[in-house]
Amino acid sequence: MPAGLNRALLTLAGAVVAIVLAIAVCSVAIVAAGGDPLHALTAFFDFGASERAQSNSVATLFNRAVPLFIAGLAVAIGFRMNLFNIGVEGQYRIAAICAAYVGSTFVAPAPIQIAVIIVVAMVVGGLYALIPAIMKVTRGVNEVIATIMLNYIAINISAYLVRGPFAGARAEGELTVSTPPLPDSGMFPDLNFVFGWFGMLAPTREGGLWGFLVVAIVLGVVLWVVLERTRFGFDVKASGLNQSAALAAGVNPKRMVIAAMVLSGAIAGLIGLPEVLGSTGSFGTTFTSGLGFLGIAVALLGRNKPAGIAVAALLFAFLDRAQGPLQFANIPPSVIEIIQGVIVLLVVVANEVTNRFALRLEERRAARQLKVTA
């Protein structure tokens, strides 16, 4: 069996074993919480009693997966170069509020309006990620510490802006605050027509199936090409593996640190746009948080590969969607977070075990070949 196929099968087997073990561990947690594991398993696959409810559940699953997928891509770029961009959380929040506000200040044809919003989000996210990159290459500041601190700064700046300079009009007695609403030309067209292809009713919850799904797919393909089929992707990987060797080969590691962090931040800036352009039309105090931190887990589970990240994002979205059915089954929704954490932990351990096992098999194969040639 070819070495590449052998390693791929070992990786797949390790992931399956890790997920099975995670289910077993979480079954114990469900029993400890006074629930029934079989009822929990049934709740995970409960998409609703009516056709409309099922369509809404499917749309919710994909709508949740899209920002998680983008977050995983943003984190994975840094991981490819042994950079831990923990600041994705702050980068996407500051980018989302700036993009939402800028998009509300003018009206243009839909392609121009949406393009400007996307560009603003990417520029703001990239510039915010540039700060820890410059600190690292000029002063040697650890990017983990720098990005964690910048997260708090970005979160509080966003909270100030949405209640201050960027605040929109608020009705009397309304508790939530948000930026001014985007014009109709700033809202991304939905993909509800896709449900008709499968004989399903169009979803009606949260704006239906968000059209930003198409952008996420294109982004994943483009990023795969850039990282796997271009000189830039090779330089990123080489700089992450061995900066001294990369420098000897003519690659500037400091420049690659800046490029990787800025690209990671630019992609992070897109995380909040599916919600802004597909549902809310603004950035408010109820804006979804925590996606940046979940992106770390998604990237680890997907092994920093766009295809793997897509599968991990769908898995996390599938688990998140089950919170409602779990509550109806009298099972604490916190079980979902336990499952997600255990899966990531066990998959990381399984990856390390399978990598070592595959390496040992390759060494034995090489030793046998040497004996044959001798």
Residue whose tokens read 């700060």: 131
Q: If you ran DSSP here, which 8-state letter would residue 181 be given?
A: P
In the chain, pLDDT over 90 holds for what percent of residues?
55
pLDDT score of 249: 81
Contact 298, 314 (CB under 8 A): no
Q: 42 pLDDT exceeds 70?
A: yes
pLDDT mean over 91-118: 96
pLDDT score of 306: 93
Q: How far is CA 335 from the centre of its chain?
A: 21
Report how far residue 308's alpha carbon sits from residue 298's, in angstroms, rounded to the nearest whole number: 9
Where among 321, 336, 363 does a domain terminate? 321
Residues 146, 82, 272: CA angle, nearest 5 degrees: 60
Q: What are 229's two structure tokens?
A: 């089929």
Dihedral of CA 288/325/314/11: which sign?
Answer: positive
Is 252 a domain residue? yes
pLDDT, tens digit (0-9, with 9 covering 90-100), for 126-135 = 999 999 999 9
- Residue 304: give the domain boundaries: 63-321
Is 55 a domain residue? no
pLDDT, tens digit (0-9, with 9 covering 90-100), for 230-272 = 999 889 888 888 888 888 888 888 999 999 999 999 999 999 9
pLDDT score of 2: 58
Q: What is the largest CA-CA distance in the chain?
A: 87
Indicate if 10 and 40 belong to the same structural domain. Answer: yes
pLDDT mean over 356-364: 79
Considering the chain, what is the average pLDDT of its residues? 88
pLDDT, tens digit (0-9, with 9 covering 90-100), for 2-36 = 555 666 676 777 777 777 887 788 888 788 877 78
Q: How many domains does the chain have?
A: 2
Residues 360, 345, 68: CA angle, nearest 5 degrees: 115
Indicate if 243 and 95 belong to the same structural domain. Answer: yes
pLDDT, tens digit (0-9, with 9 covering 90-100), for 189-199 = 999 999 999 99
**Which residues have C-beta within 8 Å of that of residue 64, sequence separation ≥ 6?**
316, 317, 320, 321
Q: 275 pLDDT exceeds 80?
A: yes
Amino acid at site 180: P
Q: What is the pTM of this model?
A: 0.91
Indicate if 98 and 207 belong to the same structural domain. Answer: yes
Q: What are 295's two structure tokens?
A: 């992106």
**Which residues have C-beta within 8 Å of that of residue 115, sequence separation ≥ 6?**
none
Indicate if 121 and 193 belong to the same structural domain. Answer: yes
Contact 261, 110 (CB under 8 A): no
Indicate if 329 and 308 belong to the same structural domain. Answer: no
Indicate if 88 and 235 belong to the same structural domain. Answer: yes
Dihedral of CA 298/303/306/310: which sign?
Answer: negative
pLDDT, tens digit (0-9, with 9 covering 90-100), for 278-317 = 999 999 999 999 999 999 999 988 888 999 999 999 989 9
pLDDT score of 243: 82
Report how far residue 302's alpha carbon sits from residue 282's, in angstroms, rounded to the nearest whole number: 31
Containing 219, the helix (H) or strand (E) segment is: helix 212-229
Is 53 a domain residue? no
Report how far residue 321's alpha carbon sits from residue 62's, in angstroms, rounded to the nearest whole number: 10
Indicate if 208 and 353 belong to the same structural domain. Answer: no
Indicate if 309 and 338 belong to the same structural domain. Answer: no
pLDDT mean over 93-121: 96
Is 89 a domain residue? yes
Indicate if 229 and 367 belong to the same structural domain. Answer: no
Nearest to 166 by CA among 62, 228, 79, 93: 93
Exposed / middle / buried, residue 119 (Cβ in 10 Å: 0-12, 13-18, 19+): middle
Is 67 a domain residue? yes
Indicate if 317 and 357 belong to the same structural domain. Answer: no
pLDDT, tens digit (0-9, with 9 covering 90-100), for 66-83 = 999 999 999 999 998 889
Q: 352 pLDDT exceeds 70?
A: yes
pLDDT score of 1: 53
Indicate if 200 and 330 belong to the same structural domain. Answer: no
Report how far residue 234's alpha carbon sits from residue 304's, in angstroms, rounded to the nearest whole number: 15
Is 57 a domain residue? no
pLDDT, tens digit (0-9, with 9 covering 90-100), for 135-182 = 999 999 999 999 999 999 999 999 999 999 999 887 677 778 999 999
Is 58 a domain residue? no
Report how far residue 130's alpha carbon sits from residue 135's, in angstroms, rounded to the nearest whole number: 9
**Which residue would you say has higher pLDDT here, 63 or 46?**
63
Residues 352, 358, 364: CA angle, nearest 5 degrees: 140
Q: 374 pLDDT exceeds 70?
A: no
Nearest to 274 by CA among 261, 291, 260: 291
Where among 302, 321, 340 does a domain terminate? 321
pLDDT score of 219: 97
Q: Which residues pair with 284 in a beta bridge?
A: 178
Where among 321, 338, 356 does a domain terminate? 321
Indicate if 342 and 260 belong to the same structural domain. Answer: no
Is 51 a domain residue? no
- CATH number of the domain within which 234 lies: 1.10.3470
